[in-house]
Structure formats: C-alpha cells, structure tokens
Amino acid sequence: MKITDMKCAIIGNNPVVRIITDEGIDGYGQGEASKPYLKPFVMYFRDQIIGADPTDVERVMLRIRQRGAFKPYGTAVSMIEMALWDIAGKAAGVPVYKLLGGKVRDKVATYNGNVRTPITENTPEAYAESMRQMKALPHGFKLVKQGVGFHSQMKYEDGFYFGTPHDRLSHGLLDRGMLTEKGLNHVVDCVEAMKEVLGDEVMLALDCGPGWMPTDAIRLAKRLEHLHIAWLEDLITGDYVPYVLADVYRDVTMSTSIPIHTGEQIYLRQNFRELIETQAVNIVGPDPADVGGIAELKWIAEYADLHGILMAPHGTLDGLLGLAALVQVSATMPMNYIAFEYPNGQPDWWYDIVEGLPDPIVQNGEIEVWDRPGMGVDLIPEEAKKYLKEEDQDFFA
C-alpha cells in the first residue's frame, strides 16, 4: 500500500487531514478547533509522505516528526500520525487499540472541561451555578474541570494581581505576576463555592494558568488542601508556552499534597523526560493532537507509570475524530490512567457528518470502547460536503 495524496480542509474551525492510498483506504486526523490557521503547515508535509506505506506508521513519522514543535506546531504532525493509524487499522481490519498493544479496559473514563455554559460574572455564586449545571449533565461525569486565576476572566478584575493583562486575545501574550491578597482570597472563595455544590460525588480539577508565580502557587495549594482537589493544572507553564520549567514545578509539587498537573502544550516524549524523571509533577496531560499523536501519548503514559506519575490526557477542542483517537489510545494505557478531557463536536452539525459514534457517547462518565476497524469513526462525505469552504471543495475528490 502506498500514500498517493494528502489533503487538508477546515471543517467548522477544525483542521482535518485526509490521507489517500492506492488501495482505496483513507485515513482521517483532526486538530483543535482553535487552530484553523494551521492548514498551510499541515500541507507542508504532503510531499514528505507521498509514496510511503502508511501502515509503517513509525517509518513515515521519521520523515516528518523532527519538523514539529510545541503547541500549536505539533498539531500538523499529530494529525498525520492519527490518520496513519486509522489507515493501518482499516487495512488490518482491526480497531487501532489492537495495534497499540490491545485494550486493558472495556470502558474509558472521561472528564468534563468543555461541556459548559460561560461564566458571566466573576463571583463565587456564578462559579457555583456553573458546577450545578455541569453536575446535572446526562453524561454523569465523575470529574469536572474549571478555569480559575490566569486561566479565567479573573485576571481582568481590578486588583487581582500586580500587573496589567494584555488584550483579550484568544491566545495572547502570557499574563503573569504576583497575586494580591484580595485576588488570592477571591480564587479560594470561588473554589470553595464550587466544592460545596459538587461535594464528594464529583471531583473538581482546576485549570489555573499558566502565569502563577511559584510562591503564589504554593500559597494557593496550601489554602485548598482541605478540599480534596483532583489537581492544579498548568500553574507555571502550559497551554501555548514553549518550554517546561520542570525544576520550578518540582518546588511547587513538593510543597503540597494536591496533585500538580501539566503537559497539554508539550511536543514529543523527549520533552516530558525531565518532568517525569525528576517527578516534577504528579500528573501529565499530553494532548494527542499536540504531542505527536497517539503512539507518542501511549509511550509517555507507560514511562510516567514507571515513575508513579498519573496520566490525564488533554483533548477539549479535538473534535469527534479526536475523541475517537482518545478512546482508542486510552483503552491501552496502564493503570496510571485517570480520564481524558472530553471533546465534543462544535458546531452541533458535526454529529451529522460523522458515523460510528455510540448514542449516547458518554454514560456514567465513561465511554464503551468500540470495535470498528481503524479509529472506528468516519466522515460521511455527502453530509460533510455541505460544510466545506469553497477552497476545500476537492477534499473528498
């Protein structure tokens, strides 16, 4: 089997790659909805993979892997990797999890950091109401995540920290600085209000930054230790920050009993090595659409497990094809696996253009692992064509 072509379309806001072979088997990969601008970067790799055997996934990846980088530029490589696994599974007639070593669980846990209504006011009451809504969702999530501090609108409040936030760009410059006493108290008040709603029935994780000074991160953790928080995420680095700072993370991690989590922006296993080997964090959360793909994610999970570090993959904007990839790889991870962050289809018409998903997808906070070949889901060309932009009309040709 040979790769004969590769195409990329922006469907909704998600970049979607289609790899075409001489045996009529196609593979799909999807990037985050926040990255439609990556289409030219994805297509840069087309000529590098034409003529290769897509079922030799690692051999193809060796042609392109070194040209990726920290979020967002690992996405192009990651999308291609997932599309290759999709083809390999379809060609072998087995689900991708079989090619990654086989599943160790029949259902995979997922957590909610994505299905929500916006918080309109920076008040404890508004945060509590958000938790009431998330707790009432039919998905039955056992763990939810909420943004606070520098990963929320709190930073725009007067007197929150010693600094001036930048313009409200979707991913602007890194806002960071020392919190005021008022600012720290406000974060704690909001977290306590959320925990009062959730009780011990649903765990609460906090997406915190990046942007916290280490001293404030330690103060926050100590103030929250009595609340049994699932984790504090991306306090120091994370999201679109192109470095790790493992030594700083270790100082924070060693100061508290609350698990410390990071990793969504990191590209490749090599850049997790110091975090894992120095036990700088308690939980790592690579995103398969940023880290280099699902095999890379599996490798990191295994290595983290050897060091007693937990795994909770990121995935909030990865879309329905990304959801399928997360289900396949999460089924194969060792027992350090907690849950992956649930991605949904945005806009809702995504559910009309994809086949193969169960209905409902999530029950009691878990997704049953399906057995269709490849990733187990496919685009429906006749339906998806309705939403293709003019420049992408040849995507299914």
Query: What pLDDT was estimated at residue 331?
Result: 99
Structure tokens at 92: 């072998």
As a whole number of angstroms, the distance between CA 201 and CA 188 comes to 20
Instruction: Count CB-CB contacts under 10 A for residue 177.
Output: 18
Query: What pLDDT was estimated at residue 171?
Result: 55
As a whole number of angstroms, the distance between CA 176 and CA 267 comes to 23
Whether the Cβ atoms of residue 86 and residue 27 lie closer than 8 Å to each other: yes
Range 178-199 average pLDDT: 98
Whether the Cβ atoms of residue 187 and residue 148 lie closer than 8 Å to each other: yes
- Residues forming CATH 3.20.20.120 domain(s) in the chain: 99-374
Whether the Cβ atoms of residue 301 and residue 308 lie closer than 8 Å to each other: no
Residue 166 binned pLDDT confidence (cut-offs 50, 70, 90):
confident
Long-range CB pairs of 46-51 (<8 Å, 24+ gap) are 46/5, 46/6, 49/3, 49/6, 49/19, 49/80, 50/3, 50/4, 50/5, 50/6, 51/2, 51/3
Can you identify the CATH homologous superfamily of domain 99-374? Answer: Enolase-like C-terminal domain (3.20.20.120)
Range 137-164 average pLDDT: 96
Query: What pLDDT was estimated at residue 220?
Result: 98
- Alpha helix ranges (H) inside 93-180: 96-99, 124-135
pLDDT tens for each residue of 339-366: 999 999 999 999 999 999 999 999 999 9
The continuous run of DSSP H or E covering 123 comes out as none
State the helix-helix crossing angle for 181-198 and 124-135, rounded to 10 degrees: 30
pTM of the model as a whole: 0.97
Range 386-397 average pLDDT: 97
Task: Report the chain's mean pLDDT, rounded to a whole number.
Answer: 97
Structure tokens at 354: 């994809």
pLDDT tens for each residue of 18-32: 999 999 999 999 999
- What's the CA angle centered on 359, arms 356 and 365, to 5 degrees? 110
Residue with tokens 């907690």: 338
- Measured between its terminal Cα atoms, the distance across the chain in Å is 19
The continuous run of DSSP H or E covering 145 comes out as strand 143-147
- Residues forming CATH 3.30.390.10 domain(s) in the chain: 3-93+380-392
pLDDT tens for each residue of 167-177: 666 555 689 99
pLDDT tens for each residue of 180-190: 999 999 999 99
pLDDT tens for each residue of 225-236: 999 999 999 999
Query: What pLDDT was estimated at residue 165?
Result: 86
Backbone φ and ψ for 281, nearest 5 degrees, come out as -135, 165
As a whole number of angstroms, the distance between CA 206 and CA 146 comes to 5
Q: Which fold has domain 3-93+380-392?
A: Enolase-like; domain 1 (3.30.390)
Backbone φ and ψ for 368, nearest 5 degrees, come out as -75, 130
